[in-house]
Amino acid sequence: MTTTSIIEIAFGAALMVGAVVLYRRRGPEGEAKTGSQSAVVLLIVGLILLIHGSGLLEYRHSAGL
């Protein structure tokens, strides 16, 4: 694993933790508990960073084709 992929995985994990914290944050008293759209966007971006950092999006040419 390269340093860049480790940094990318760390940023992805940090974004996902931030998304969970943002999503679980309580609103003012008496207000209905609803999720945050920005938390969902952060979760998706963090997941993409984790997938890319782990190398799952790399092209691997198969010799058989």
Listed by start position, the domains of the chain span 3-53
pTM of the model: 0.76
Is 64 a residue whose pLDDT tops 80?
Answer: no
Q: CA dihedral in degrees (10, 38, 57, 17; nearest 10)?
A: 30
State the Cα–Cα distance between residues 18 and 27, nearest whole angstrom: 17
Radius of gyration over alpha carbons of the chain, in Å?
Answer: 17
State the Cα–Cα distance between residues 4 and 37, nearest whole angstrom: 29
- Give the residue with greater pLDDT, 6 vs 65: 6
Mean pLDDT value of segment 50-55:
92
Tens digit of each residue's pLDDT (9 = 90 or more) over 1-49: 899 999 999 999 999 999 988 888 766 666 666 667 888 999 999 999 9
Task: Provide the pLDDT for residue 56.
Answer: 86
State the Cα–Cα distance between residues 60 and 8, nearest whole angstrom: 20
State the Cα–Cα distance between residues 12 and 37, nearest whole angstrom: 18
